[in-house]
């Protein structure tokens, strides 16, 4: 029997193939923007969001390849957000996943364009699910969730508040808002789309959203913890970036111990909700548990 880590590696490789398959070819007069986009996507992310999507799809008995364009699309959106997040006008980070960030490698202009390109290309890719699935209404519903959770009511909304309040002392409510939207929304989209494309009931889609919301906030708090406890080598980007950018995080607000406790309790709540569903997916349970112990 495979260990969890063997299974994780095998499944991540499968996801990697799907992400690669839908990427644009690096050709034509505009090839720089393709190169910058491909560079941003193909540099060794954990592929957590497409993995969560795939496993939620399986949990709700999803069959067939209709989920694949959405798995690629969610990773393109995630990559586009990282490309823009690293820009000089945002976090001004020159390294990401152990390599030059996109703007540092291709210039600030191409960084802006590659982020834009990936965001739009994600929707072009998602629309291809129509050819691979016999329920077009689910594709439209999944695309709406993708746009909603990535956009002004989701990630971009969260980033707006984050940018505007950087350097100010935040209260718990403001911090919750930022974490729910900036990080939580895309993880919610991942699990909801898995459920939608598996033709799950409205109630099950709501449960997937609730589970993902807890996983998303726990994931962001873990990110705050690693910014303080990890090393640049392990993390692939400079540690101490929150302090450098004068950011209030869960760790600065409540301390390391309390932050660790919060990650653990949110994870338990997510797992409890997951176990109350009819279907079962042991790998998904382990994946959610792994997120607390992850080191990068």
Under the binding rule (CB under 6 A), the answer on residue 150 touching ligand GRG is: yes
Q: Which of 93, 223, 227, 242 binds ligand GRG (CB under 6 A)?
A: 223
Under the binding rule (CB under 6 A), the answer on residue 248 touching ligand GRG is: no
Between residues 126 and 133, which has the closer beta carbon with respect to ligand GRG?
126
Return the bridge partners of 100, or none.
95
Return the bridge partners of 99, or none.
96
What is the Cα–Cα distance from 250 to 230, expressed in whole angstroms? 16
Binders of ligand GRG among 115-134, rule CB under 6 A? 115, 119
Between residues 133 and 213, which has the closer beta carbon with respect to ligand GRG?
213
Query: Residue 224 Cβ, how far from ligand GRG at the closest point, in Å?
Result: 9
Torsion angle (degrees, nearest 10) of CA 222, 227, 228, 233: 120
Query: Residue 151 Cβ, how far from ligand GRG at the closest point, in Å?
Result: 8
Under the binding rule (CB under 6 A), the answer on residue 11 touching ligand GRG is: no
Q: Which of 54, 81, 138, 252 binds ligand GRG (CB under 6 A)?
A: 81
Query: Nearest to residue 237, comparing CAs of 142, 39, 101?
Result: 101
Under the binding rule (CB under 6 A), the answer on residue 77 touching ligand GRG is: yes
Under the binding rule (CB under 6 A), the answer on residue 37 touching ligand GRG is: no
**Piece of the chain touching ligand GRG by CB under 6 A; list 105-113, 153-161, 202-210, 285-293:** 153-161
Q: Residue holding tokens 């303080």?
A: 228
Helical H segments across the chain, by residue range: 4-21, 31-41, 48-59, 68-86, 102-106, 108-126, 136-150, 155-165, 172-178, 185-197, 202-229, 232-235, 241-244, 250-254, 256-275, 282-293
Under the binding rule (CB under 6 A), the answer on residue 45 touching ligand GRG is: yes
- Looking from the CA of 219 toward its CB, the CA atoms found within 13 Å total 24
Q: Which residues bind ligand GRG (CB under 6 A)?
A: 45-46, 48, 77, 80-82, 84-85, 90, 97, 115, 119, 150, 155-156, 159, 182-183, 220, 223
């Amino acid at each position: 029997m495979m260990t969890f880590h063997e299974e994780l590696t095998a499944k991540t490789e499968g996801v990697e193939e799907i992400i690669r398959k839908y990427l644009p070819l690096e050709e034509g007069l505009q090839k720089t923007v393709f190169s910058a986009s491909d560079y941003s996507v193909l540099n060794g992310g954990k592929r957590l969001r497409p993995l969560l999507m795939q496993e939620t799809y399986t949990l709700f008995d999803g069959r067939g390849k209709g989920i694949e364009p959405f798995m690629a699309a969610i990773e393109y959106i995630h990559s586009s957000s990282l490309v823009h997040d690293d820009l000089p006008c945002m976090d001004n980070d020159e390294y990401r996943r152990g390599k030059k960030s996109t703007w540092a490698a291709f210039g600030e202009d191409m960084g802006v364009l590659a982020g834009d390109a990936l965001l739009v290309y994600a929707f072009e890719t998602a629309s291809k699910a129509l050819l691979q699935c016999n329920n077009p209404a689910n594709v439209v519903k999944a695309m709406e969730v993708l746009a909603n959770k990535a956009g002004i009511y989701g990630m971009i909304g969260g980033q707006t508040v984050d940018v505007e309040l950087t350097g100010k002392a935040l209260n718990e409510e403001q911090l919750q808002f930022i974490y729910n939207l900036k990080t939580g929304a895309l993880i919610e989209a991942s699990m909801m789309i898995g459920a939608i494309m598996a033709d799950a009931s409205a109630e099950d889609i709501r449960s997937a959203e609730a589970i993902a919301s807890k996983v998303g906030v726990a994931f962001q708090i873990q990110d705050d913890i690693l910014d303080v406890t990890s090393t640049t080598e392990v993390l692939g980007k400079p540690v101490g970036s929150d302090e450098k950018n004068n950011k209030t995080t869960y760790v600065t607000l409540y301390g390391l111990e309390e932050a660790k406790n919060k990650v653990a309790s949110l994870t338990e709540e997510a797992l409890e909700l997951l176990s109350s569903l009819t279907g079962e997916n042991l790998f998904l349970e382990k994946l959610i548990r792994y997120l607390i112990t992850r080191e990068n």
